[in-house]
Every structure is written in structure tokens, then in C-alpha cells.
Chains A and B, each alone.
Chain A
Amino acid sequence: MEENPTSWFMRVTVTILFLFLLAPVLLVFPISFSGDQVLAFPPSSWSLRWYEALLGNTVMMSAFLTSLGLAVVVTILSLIIAIPASYAIVRLKVTGSEFLFNLFTAPLLLPTIVLGLAILIIFASMGLLATFTGLVIGHLVITLPYALRVLSVSLGNLNLSCEEAASSLGAKPLAVFRKVTLPMMAPGIVAATALCFLVSFDEVVITLFLTGPRMTTLPVELFHHVESQADPLVASVSVLLILMTLAVVMIVDRTMGLTKAFMK
């Protein structure tokens, strides 16, 4: 009997706090169907006008395409660069590999506002500002640490005996890697792909320093839009972004189980 009032109190508190945590994300869905001219909740009427407005907004659409292309290129490059690197660090275990691992994941320790400014100043002197190449390198700085970390964990968890069996049967090192190691790393590669894609597609702060009127990404365009005006357009973009993220997460979940991918 004494237990009940406390656990009841606990449950109500936790429910309210969960509402607080999820409110801003949930609110975006009804607002995106608003029929009003300005941002208001609850909307006075409902419509699809802001989804139509989004399709007709050439700046947003081209920013979306830039973001998509950027995220795809960055993800592919991240895998091409990080898979060999994780192999060198985990399997070849050269002296100082632990130091190298820490060095290569160190960019995640820096606040993005500092990293963004630092990259801005260097890229300005290299003529890389507001260029696709500049954005790719800028994003690689933060996607590579994630990729390296996820791939190293996945490689470290693999059983060596299969690879040893293959090489004792006469397979060359490269063949062992291609035919045995790489397929066994598949779950880690899927997780790294999803993570790199989402990190690149969502990145705002560093990108804000590297974009210009000529070259901009969707999150940066959203930021500037929210900064200058309050209308439901951002809500319709947000809904599409959330659905896309959900799709990526579900693909990962289907392929390998979410907990296995991110909880390690």
C-alpha cells in the first residue's frame, strides 16, 4: 500500500517529462498541415498548401538536392577511407595505432562552432569556401571519426579463425580481406553507412561557415529561413526530414537490428 502513491507520482512525473522531451518534434506534424499564412498553433485551418509551397520553392529544392548529393558522396568516401584505416588500426596493430585512433576520432571532441571557424579560416586561404569540394572535406572531418569507430568495433568483434583458415588454405591477404573479412564486416558497414549519411545530411554548424549564396545545404537553408521568418514551410520540410531519418533507421533495423548497430 505504501508503494502505490510513490510509483503513481513517479509515473505522472515521467509522463510529463517525456511530453516535454517529445513536444517540439511532435508539434511539427500538425503545423505542417496548417492552412495559415504564419506560424501558429493550433492552426485555424488545415491544408496541404505548405507542402505545395515547398515543391515550388526552388531554393529549398536545390538545397535539398545539394544535401542529398553531398551526403551520398561523403558516405561513399567515408567508407572508402575508413575501411582500410580500421583494418590497419585493428588488424595490423602497428606501433602507435591506439594514438592514431584517438587522433583520427579527436575532431568529435571539439565543439562544432570552433571546428567550423577553424576550417573556415583555412579553407578561405585555399579557395574552398562555398564549393562542393570544400563541403565534402568539411563533412568528412566529422563523418570519418564515426565511421572509424563503428568499423573498428565491428572488425574487433570478428572471429580471427575464419581469416586464418582462409590464409592457411593458401588465399592471398587481399583475397582473404575481400572474400572473408569484408563480408563478415557487413553489419558494421551498414551501420557506418547510415550514420555517415545522417550526420552529413543533418550537419548545420560547420556547414554554415562553409556555404555561401552559390552553394547551400538544406539544414543551412532551413536555419536561415527560421532566422528570418516564422511560417509553416519549415514544418513541412521537417516532416519530410523526420520521415527520411525514420526510413534510414528502419533500413538499418531490418538489416541488422538497431540495438546491435548502435548499442555496442
Chain B
Amino acid sequence: MTTATFDLPVVAQKSSNTVGIAVALLLPIALVNAIGFILPVLNLARMSFNEALPGGGIAEAFTAANWTGLIQDSFYIELITNSLMVSLGITLATLLVSYPIALYLHRASGAWRTFLTVLVISPLLTSAVVRTYGWIALLAEQGPVANVIAAMGFQPPRMMFNTTGVVIGLTEILMPYMILSLMAGFGRLDPKVEEAARTLGATPFRTFWRVILPLTLPGIALGCLLCFVLAISSFITPKLMGGGRVFLLATEIYDQAIVTLNWPLAATLSMLVLIIFGAALAVYSRILRMIEG
């Protein structure tokens, strides 16, 4: 009885102590989070309802003008549809060039598999500026790719400072993300199932179409979601390879913020990117339910 009454206050004191210590330990990270994340993002959302004055001025207001302006301006309608289409194209291209590598890696084993996985990850550790620079060298007017095409007897197409270059560059840059997502989703793919299909007389094509592909759909969905959101928000490659001639959402946000100094419009476009993120996520979970269900 005495021990019980003695224990209670000690426990209570300890737990309130623990909370105090926890608050102290979490305070610095909470501070950075508040100053560098929560406050800026809330302010950005608020900024999208402010009024832009000519010459970079901002008037505190609560107007939907930036938003309605987007929908009424044909330039922005085209910019948004263009961004969506280019990002979808990049996602599809990335899937096509990544799938064979992911399948090969899934089947490989031992040191060979480790070595190839390191090769896949290594570009991720290289700056996007460096990799884009490599593509500029490859796709230049008198560059190696153009020379090879010319040697085969074709007229080399323009591959720089247009959408083609942006798509090629971003496809390569997003490949590691796609390959890693695909491999993460390949867990259900058992070589025995493929073997069973083949022994039962299915052609390789039919085995792929009826067995391998359906089993890898979750990985495909995850990889596509990731690459789509990364493509639509990527800035470095479109800016450098588009040469100011390719207008996409991310490059327009930067230009409005830094060149035109129209922060309310830049904020509105940023919010639009976040809305597209949300929509992509909703589509993804819907597709995932369809696959699993």
C-alpha cells in the first residue's frame, strides 16, 4: 500500500520530465522546420492571392485574380497542357528504357547484381547540372549523336534547345528513380512462375504479357508516379536544354520569380504544381486499388 502511493508521484514526475527533455531536444529542429518550411509554404499560399503591381510591387489583397488569370490566358493554358504532356511523355519513355534494366537486375545475383546496382545509383550522386552538360555535349549540332545519324545517311534532327532535348535529358536523369521503384515492386515476381508458364507452352511474348507484366504493375505504378512528379517539377534540365525556348511550369516559376519579379504569379504557379502533385497521388492510389483489388 505504501509502495503504491510512493510509486505514483515518481512515475508522474518522470513522465513530465521526459516531456520536458523531449521538447528541449526537438526545439532546434522544430525551429528550422518552422522558419524554413511551414512559414514559407503558408506564406506562399497566401502570396498567390496577393495582387502584383507593375515593376515587381506587391499589394496585400485577397483576390483570385492570379488564379482566374491563369485560366483565361491562352499562354498559360498552353504552358500547363504542354507541361503535363511533356511530363507524361518523359514518364513513358523512362518506363520503357528502365524496365529491361530492372528486370535484368531482378534476375541477376551476387556480386554482378551489386555492381550493376551501384552503376544505377551512381548517376544519382552526380549533379543534375553535370549530367545535363553531358547531354548538351552529346546532342549538340555537330555532336557525336548528330554525327552518327549523319553517317547512317539521315539528316540529323535538331536535338538541342527544343522539347526533344529536354525529353532525352530528363528521361536519362530520371532512370535511376524508375529502376529502383520498379525493383522495389518486383518482389512478387518469382522465377518459378515464369518457368511454369514456359513449361506449359507459353511463348516468351505471351509469358511476358500474361505473367510478368501483371505481376510487376505495382512497381510500374510507383515508378510512374515518382517520375511524373519529378518531371513536372524539374527545373535544371529544361532550363539548360530548352535554351529559353521550351516553356514548362518549373522554368516559368523561376522566370516569374527571378526575372519578371511577379511573385504572386510565381506563387500561384507553385500552388498549381502542388495541386498537380495531389492529383497524381490520387490517380496513383486509385490505380493501385484497381491492381490489388
Contact = CB atoms under 8 A, between A and B. Distances in A.
Given A27-B137, A117-B253, A121-B40, A94 B270 contact: no
B212 interface: no
A202 B36 contact: no
A24 B134 contact: yes
B101 A226 contact: no
A88 B21 contact: yes
Interface in B117-149: 118-123, 125-138, 140, 142-144
Interface stretch (B3-11, B70-78, B233-241, B283-291): B233-241
A17 B18 contact: no
B175 to A, nearest CB: 5
Contacts of B263: 117, 121
For the residues of A in contact with B, the DSSP-based class is helix
Contacts of A88: 21-22, 25-26
A39 interface: yes
Contacts of B144: 41-42
Interface string B134-174: 11111010111000000000000000000000000100100
B283 to A, nearest CB: 17
Interface string B198-217: 00000010000000000000
Contact of A10 (B30, B100, B266): B100
Contacts of A230: 136, 140
Nearest to B34: A103
Contacts of B81: none
Given A28-B130, A148-B29, A92 B18 contact: yes
Given A25-B130, A111-B277, A122 B40 contact: yes
Contacts of B1: none
Interface stretch (A47-55, A164-172, A234-242): A234-242
B32 A114 contact: no
A26 B138 CA distance: 11
B175 A21 contact: yes
A249 B120 CA distance: 15
A223 B29 contact: no
B279 interface: no
B135 A24 contact: yes
B44 interface: yes
A112 B37 CA distance: 11
B274 interface: yes
Interface string B222-236: 000000010001011
Nearest to A223: B129
Nearest to B281: A109
B36 A141 contact: yes
Nearest to A142: B36
A115 B128 CA distance: 18
Interface in A79-93: 80-82, 84-85, 87-89, 92
Contact of B134 (A25, A110, A219, A245): A25
A13 B128 CA distance: 25
27 contacts: A17-B98, A20-B97, A20-B175, A23-B138, A24-B134, A24-B172, A25-B126, A25-B134, A27-B134, A28-B134, A81-B32, A92-B22, A94-B19, A110-B41, A117-B253, A117-B254, A118-B43, A137-B35, A140-B36, A148-B29, A209-B258, A222-B133, A223-B240, A227-B240, A235-B133, A238-B133, A259-B114
Interface of A: 6, 10-11, 13-14, 17-18, 20-28, 31, 39-42, 80-82, 84-85, 87-89, 92, 94, 97, 100, 103-104, 106-107, 110-115, 117-122, 137-138, 140-141, 144, 148, 198, 202, 204-205, 208-209, 219, 222-223, 226-227, 230, 234-235, 238, 241-242, 245, 249, 258-259, 262
Given A88-B21, A104-B33, A204-B236, 11 more contacts: A18-B119, A27-B134, A39-B136, A87-B25, A100-B30, A107-B36, A114-B233, A226-B133, A227-B240, A234-B133, A245-B126
